[in-house]
Amino acid sequence: MPALELRGIDKRFGAVHANRGVSFSAARGSVHGIIGENGAGKSTLMNIVYGLHRADAGEIRVQGRTVAISSPQDAIAAGIGMVHQHFMLVENFTVLENIVLGAEGGRRLAEGLGAARAGLEQLARDYGLEVPLDAIVSELPVGLQQRVEILKALYRGADILILDEPTAVLTPQEADQLFKMLERLRAQGKTVLLVTHKLREIMAVTDRVTVMRQGAIVGEVATCDTSPRELAEKMVGRAVLLNVERGPARPGATLLTVRDLEVRDRLGVARVKGVSFTLQAGEIVGIAGVAGNGQSELLETLAGIRAPSRGEIELGGRHLVREGLDARARRRLGLAHVPEDRLRMGVVAGYSAQDNAILGYHDLPAYQRGLLLDRAAVLAGCEKKMSAYDVRPPNPALRIGSFSGGNQQKLVLAREIDSDPRVLLIGQPTRGVDIGAIEFIHRQLVALRDAGKALLLVSVELEEILGLADRILVMSAGEIVGEIASADATEKKVGLMMAGVKGEGHA
C-alpha cells in the first residue's frame, strides 16, 4: 500500500481555489517529486499534509489508514515530518538542543538530552547525517543546518519526509551530499516528498513526479519515462525553452570599474573585502556564490544604498564614492538596479502597479505636468510596460501586493530596463519566479546585452549563472575567489570556488 495517499483534497482561500480535488499517492521507500509554477498549489498541498492548513474537503491516508491532520503535532504523530525552505532552528542553541526542543522526554532537561544523544548518534550513522551535536547552530554551514532539520524530523519518528526547495541555499557539492542522503533514506524505507522547481534535481533523484497547474494535477509519471522539456511543458501548458539562445558576447568599452571595495555592516564586520573588477558594454558578468557571502552588500553598495568603508567605484568617468553620488544621482548617470528583495526594496506593496512602475523615476519630465504628476502619462507608461512584459493581470490600478511574485518581478524589470540604463545591476532575477516567466526574463537580459548594455548578475542559482553569464566571478566569505570564462565553467569548478577553493584566474 502507498505510504501516503491523498484523495480529493480541496482548499479555497476566499476566491482563490488553491487545490482542486487533488489525488495522488507516494510509494513507501520512494522519492516522489512535486513540481509546478508559482501558485500551482503545491505548497498549499504540502502544508495541508503537515497540518499547517486544513483541507475543505478530501481525505489523507497514511500507511493505508485515514488520518485527521489539523496541526503539525497531528502530522508528527502520523509519522510525517517537514523541512522548510527557511530552517526552523534556534541559532544560539546547540544542535542537540534544537533537535530535542519540544520533545525533551523528561522532567529534567539534562536527562532528556542525555537520553537523546545516543539515539541521535545512531540515527546519524544509519542515514549518513553526521553532525556535531554540541555545536552552536549559527556556527554551522548551511548544509549541516539542513542535516539538523532532517535529523529533527527523523528523531520524532518521521517515515514520510517533506522537503521544500531543499537545495535553494546549498552549493552543488552540498546538493550532491543531500541527494546521497535521500538515497539512503529511500533504502531504509523512508518516503520523501521533494518539492522543487529545479527540473535537473527531479530527474536526478526522484522515482516518480507529480505535476500541478492551477491547483490541479495535470500529470504524474515515472521519472525514467519523462524529460525536463516534457515536465516544463506540463507545468506551463506550452513549450518552454529551458536554455535561452545567445550568441557570443561582443564586449566594448569599460563602463564600470570597482577597485579595492570594502563594505562593513553596522557592527563593523567586513562583508565585502577588497573586491575589484570591471564591467564592459555588451557583456553579462555573473557573480556566483552561496547566499550570505557578500553579494547582497556588494550590489547595494554599487547602487548607492550602502556606503563603502574603502575603495572606489567609477562609472563612465565619474568617481561615485569620491563625489558622494547617491542612488538617485547614479540612476541619472545610467545605473539601474533590480534589487534582490523586490518586496523590501523594489516595490511598495500598498501602492498601485502604476505608481510602482515609476518608483525612482517619478521626477522625469515624461511624468511631470507642472508641479504635479501627469497621471495620464503614468497610466499609459504602466500599460505599455505591462503589455511588453506580459504582467498579469494587466490592471495598473491594482495594488502591487496583490500580484504574484513573478509578475511583481516582471514589472520591476520593466521599470528599470525602460530607463534605458548603460549598466544594469540585477539581483536574483528569477527568485520565486515560475518557469514560464524565467524563460521570458532570461530573453530580456540577453537582448539587453546584445543592445550594448553592461549587466552585473547576482544569482544563487548556478544554472542561471552558467546559462547567462559571459564571465563568472565567484564570491566566498566576502572575497572574489576566482574568475572564469563561461566557456570554461562547469558546475564542479564553480561549486568548488563557491566553497572557498581559490580559482586560478583571480579577478
Q: Clarify whether residues 196 and 255 are in a common domain.
A: no
Quote the pTM value: 0.72
Q: Clarify whether residues 294 and 197 are in a common domain.
A: no
pLDDT number for residue 169: 67
Q: Clarify whether residues 124 and 225 are in a common domain.
A: yes
Is there a domain that residue 346 lies in? Answer: no
Per-residue pLDDT of the chain (507 residues; tens, 9 = 90+): 899 999 999 999 888 899 999 999 999 999 999 998 767 888 889 999 999 999 999 999 999 999 999 999 999 999 999 998 778 889 899 999 898 887 666 555 566 677 788 888 888 888 888 899 999 998 888 788 889 999 999 999 999 999 988 876 677 777 888 898 999 999 999 999 999 878 888 999 999 999 999 899 999 999 999 999 999 899 888 887 777 888 999 999 999 999 999 999 988 999 999 999 999 999 999 999 987 889 999 999 999 999 999 999 999 889 999 999 999 999 999 999 999 888 788 999 899 999 999 999 999 999 999 889 999 999 999 999 999 988 878 899 999 988 877 788 889 999 999 999 999 999 989 876 777 778 888 999 999 999 999 999 999 888 899 999 999 999 999 999 999 999 899 988 998 888 877 655 444
Is there a domain that residue 397 lies in? Answer: yes
CA–CA gap between residue 361 and residue 416 (Å, rounded): 9
Q: Clarify whether residues 392 and 470 are in a common domain.
A: no
Is there a domain that residue 340 lies in? Answer: no
* 173 contacts: CB under 8 Å, gap ≥ 6: 495, 496, 499
Q: Clarify whether residues 137 and 263 are in a common domain.
A: no
Is there a domain that residue 344 lies in? Answer: no
Residue pair 284/469 in contact (Cβ under 8 Å)? The answer is: yes
pLDDT number for residue 463: 87
CA angle 12, 18, 19 (to 5 degrees): 95
Q: Clarify whether residues 10 and 75 are in a common domain.
A: yes
Q: Clarify whether residues 150 and 44 are in a common domain.
A: yes
Residues of the domain holding 321? 241-334+421-507
pLDDT number for residue 42: 87
Q: Clarify whether residues 215 and 248 are in a common domain.
A: no
The three-class DSSP label of residue 134 is: coil
pLDDT number for residue 215: 92
Q: Which of 378, 394, 420 is the last residue of a domain?
A: 420
Name the one residue in this structure whose C-alpha cell is 532552528: 89
Give the total number of structural domains in the chain: 3
Is there a domain that residue 403 lies in? Answer: yes
Q: Clarify whether residues 10 and 120 are in a common domain.
A: yes
Is there a domain that residue 395 lies in? Answer: yes
**DSSP secondary structure letter of residue 344:** I
pLDDT number for residue 43: 84
Is there a domain that residue 61 lies in? Answer: yes
Q: Which of 236, 263, 293 is the last residue of a domain?
A: 236
CA angle 366, 370, 371 (to 5 degrees): 105
Is there a domain that residue 453 lies in? Answer: yes
pLDDT number for residue 221: 96
Residue 178: CATH number of its domain: 3.40.50.300
CA 438 to chain centre: 12
CA–CA gap between residue 120 and residue 131 (Å, rounded): 10
Q: Clarify whether residues 21 and 149 are in a common domain.
A: yes
Q: Which of 391, 420, 449 is the last residue of a domain?
A: 420
Q: Clarify whether residues 480 and 363 are in a common domain.
A: no
Residue pair 19/41 in contact (Cβ under 8 Å)? The answer is: yes
Specify the amino acid at residue 182: L
Q: Clarify whether residues 318 and 456 are in a common domain.
A: yes
pLDDT number for residue 110: 60
